Structure 1
Amino acid sequence: MARKLLAGLAVLVLVGACDSKADEPDLEEERTNYLILLLESTGRTNSAAACQTAQTTALSCAGNAGLTAVYIASVQSSFGVSVSSPQGASEICTALSGAAFFAGMSNGAKVCYFDCTNSFWQTGQNQGSCTGGAYVTYASGATTTITNCFTACLSRSTFFPF
């Protein structure tokens, strides 16, 4: 009888000691917290900074073509916002922060979108597409290119803890 009791207790102890299921949520939470800290330390959770970078690049490209006003008008009509003077990157980002397009997005999704926007305009600068008529042709592909990049970014990064 004593052996059965000891064997029963040993089984309970072993089952409890080997049960990793109870630890999984804690490990997941720890991983998430680490990821958030890592992302915050690199600025990857700051959608305002990502917007500022993207709009600075876009304005630089438009400015090189002498079409800054055209770019700002396209932002205003595309997102249904009004950009206040002096209509720089900060003012564009302030206006975009109130756009319905971004209303339901997490900061991570916004960072994804602005990174795609920045990439599009940086590519234009690198290719020499930010001059005169080349700008108009290049800018006409913005919606499709940025949307495709954004969709791919969301597919790769389905977990946005921030």
Structure 2
Amino acid sequence: MRCPFCGEADSQVKDSRPTEDGSAIRRRRFCPACHQRFTTIERVQLRELTVVKADQRRVAFDRDKLARSVRIALRKRPVDDEQIERIVSGIVRQLEASGETDVKSHDIGELVMETLKTVDTVAYVRFASVYRDFREGKDFEAFLGHMGELPKPAKTGE
């Protein structure tokens, strides 16, 4: 693994341990050239996914982009980083397990919304407002009209 600080090609693994949910391995590394330490995360990748955009462009699936979107929706909500990581890993596993290598961006968005709906309704509305491109208050009003149909998420800390 190349050192992110000096670019040295060889680094040494000092410690390895699985993440809480067991979906990845966290490795603590040391660069013998510049003596810096850094962490890498290793995950199983079942297949290379390609995202097919609405305009039919094809781009490589970016797990980090998915994680950023979920984090933004959940910003300042009572959901910790570990739970966010489990949410993202679950979505990626569902995409990989579908058996398809080409995944429509629309399907990814719907899967994220479906997941957020059960985790945090505020995050669900936040994500939907961007994903569905709400432009006016009436867009929110129409969307929120369906909110009474949602299950209430489990309260934390009780």
TM bracket, shorter-chain basis: 0.3 to 0.5
Greater relative CO (CA pairs within 8 A, separation 6+):
1
Higher strand share: 2
Q: What TM-score, normalized to structure 2?
A: 0.35
- State which structure, 1 or 2, has the greater radius of gyration over its C-alpha atoms: 1
Please state which structure has a larger fraction of its residues in helix. 1
| TM-score normalised according to structure 1 size | 0.34
